[in-house]
Structure 1
Amino acid sequence: MDEAQALWLPSPNYFPQRAGHVPRWIIVHGTAGFSSAEEVGYYFQRADVSTHYTIGRDGVIVQSVREHDGAWGNGGITDGHDPWWSRDINPNNVTISIEHVKPHRDNSDELTEVQKETSFRLIQHICERHQIPKRKADASGGITGHRSMDPVLRSFCPGPYPWDELFEFLSSSRQERA
């Protein structure tokens, strides 16, 4: 596994070796249902979808796809997407996807405190492992929500997420290392 303390529930749904691409973005998702990270991990073992990680409301991390492979989590790019996404490259091959368990189908749930802390640390670790910019996404990389590439079908994904707190956390972690 790539993240210490993660529970490994492997999914067969991935793109081996990312077709030669490297991850440049982290995509934040909400599950729009489910009650635990383990439940999502088992679902990814039988459905035609997956993400690299799922974070439960209790802070449990499940890893379903290795970071050197692309997960089947992002679907296609729809009209109105952020300008850096290209239909010429499968977005799954240039992203690492993190689901956050949100029991309501509309992703309206706020993250629990432990879920938020776990999410921030996981994002920090992924950024450091892959030299992904620790900031809001743009054409050169960064962190964004699923709605960035699919504002038509995934306008509600990830739902409420503490973006300002995340970027403040990542900024302070950069200063501590300097």
Structure 2
Amino acid sequence: MDEAGALWLPSPNYFPDRAGHTPRWIIVHGTAGFSSAEEVGRYFQQADVSTHYTIGRDGVIVQSVREHDGAWGNGGITAGHDPWWTCDINPNNVTISIEHVKPHRDNSDELTQLQKEASFLLIQHICERHQIPTRKANASGGITGHRSMDPVMRGFCPGPYPWDELFAFLNASS
């Protein structure tokens, strides 16, 4: 596993070795259902989808795909996407995806305190491991939500996320 303390529930759904690409962005997701990170991890073992990590409401982190591989979590790029996404490269091969358990189907749940703390630390560690910029995403990399690449189908993803607190935490830690 890549993140110390994460529970390993491997998914068979990944792109080996990222087709030679390196991760430049972290994509924040909301699960739009489910009650625990372990439940999502088991789902990723059966369904044709996956993300690298899932963070439960209790702060538990499940890893389903190794960071050197691309997860099947982002789907396609749709109209209205942020300008740096291109259909020439599978976005899964240049991103690390983190799900946050949100029981409501519309992703309207706020993160719990434990979930927020686990998310901030995980993002910090991933940025350090891969030299991903610790700021809002742009063409050079960074951190953004799923809606950045798929505003048509995933405009509600990740739902509420404490972006300002995240960037303040990352800036204070660097």
**For the superposition of Structure 1 and Structure 2, which TM-score range results when normalised by the shorter chain?**
over 0.9
Q: In the TM superposition, what whole-angstrom CA distance separates every residue of 1:54-90 from its partner, at most 9, and x where no partner exists?
A: 0000000000000000000000000000000000000
For 1:77, the equivalent position in structure 2 comes to 77
Normalised to the residue count of structure 1, the TM-score between the two structures is 0.98
Give the 3-state SS of the residue equivalent to 1:96 in structure 2: strand
Residue 167 (structure 2) aligns with: 167
Q: Matched residue of 2:45: which SS? A: helix
Identical-pair percentage: 89
Task: Look up the match of 1:154.
Answer: 154
Corresponding residue number in structure 1 for 2:2: 2
TM-superposed CA distance for 1:119, in Å, is 0.1
Q: What pairs up with 1:6-85 in 2 under 5 angstroms?
A: 6-85=6-85
- 1:101-147 CA distances to partner (integer Å, 9 max, x unpaired)? 00000000000000000000000000000000000000000000000
Distance 1:117 1:137 in 2: 21
CA distance in 1 between counterparts of 2:30 and 2:3 reads: 20
d(CA) in 1 for partners of 2:49, 2:173: 32
Q: CA deviation at 1:157?
A: 0.1
Q: CA deviation at 1:163?
A: 0.1
Secondary structure of 1:136's aligned partner: coil
> C-alpha separation between the residues in 2 aligned to 1:61 and 1:135?
22
C-alpha separation in 2, matches of 1:83 and 1:151: 12
CA deviations 1:26-78 (Å, max 9, x no partner) are 00000000000000000000000000000000000000000000000000000
> Which structure 1 residue ranges, 4+ long, deviate > 2 Å from structure 2?
none
Q: How many residues align?
A: 174
Q: Which runs of 5+ in 2 are unaligned?
A: none
Letter in 2 for 1:146: H
TM-score with structure 2 setting the length: 1.00
AA partner of residue 43 (structure 2): Y
What is the aligned-residue RMSD (CA, Å)? 0.1
User: The residue matched to 1:46 in structure 2 has which SS?
Assistant: coil
Which position in structure 1 is the counterpart of 2:87? 87
- Is 1:120 the counterpart of 2:110 in the alignment? no
Residues in 2 aligned to 1:112 and 1:136: alpha-carbon distance in whole angstroms: 22
Distance 1:104 1:79 in 2: 26
Letter in 2 for 1:102: K
